[in-house]
Structure 1
Amino acid sequence: MTTISSSSDKQVLHVDDDDVFLKIANHRLTKEGYQVTSLVRPEQALKHLLNSNCRVCILDIDMPRVNGLDLLQEIKAYDGGIQVIMMTGLVSQMTVLESLRGGAEACFFKPMPDFTPLMETLDATFVKVERWWRCLHELKNRRASELNTAGSSQ
């Protein structure tokens, strides 16, 4: 069974056009045991997801070229099981609602003087990812068992 217990499994993709915030967040998340890939160019995010085993993303909303809400939709269309946490400097009720309606786990505001709420959300998100893997593993085992039972009764 796949578990999300080691730090190498706690992969996070962080996409933000603010290089300073990317570096600060990368340092804080790495210090907490996450394996972080930081991208300043949002158009590289889907390619990274296609080529990695990353199941959790942190996305800035207001970015040039690709809006974070549009990227959220693209990620969810590609794989609805990828968990996304939104970040923004645009503090508005509409931003939060659009993020949550789009399937985001949470929406946080920058600047972020205290990373505790983000860390708590990331921990809960990885628990959710682990539940997904367990469910898929159980489904695989049930199907294999059903095929074995059907094959032995013939």
Structure 2
Amino acid sequence: MLALCLALRLQYAAGRQAARQADQVATLFAANMHWVFRELSDACIKRAWADFAVHRRVLQEVLAQGREVSLQQIDGSGLAMVTSLRAMAVEGLEMVASHTPQGDWHQLHRYFEKRLPSIAGWLALYGHPPENSGPTDYQGLRTSFGQFG
């Protein structure tokens, strides 16, 4: 009987730990989404093709990070946040995929600016409002991307 109780307690503790880790990854995903959308918006304002190309590639990495969030381990609001942000990242990738240096920078800037408040709202709802200045690097992502195209 004692062994069964101990096994149940260990299983419960492991489940709580997995849920905490999933929450942390979800929050990190949201923070990185906010950061990369802001950086893409800034690149559009400046019409800075090199910055845009780098951040377009990083958006792919951010989406990959978001896909690593275990949806079974997060609660209702976290699930809604991750699902919404994944959809937003996919849509963002579709928007940037065909953009060229001669493309409509203003329209793309408006696209990113319009979505930043939603991402910030998710972060605030989840207890982590974005920093005003933002992180100086992507948190939790690989830093070596190879050749940029």
The structure carrying a bigger strand percent of its residues is 1
The structure carrying a bigger helix percent of its residues is 2
- Larger relative contact order (Cα-Cα within 8 Å, sequence gap ≥ 6): 2
TM-score, scaled to structure 2: 0.28
TM-score, scaled to structure 1: 0.27
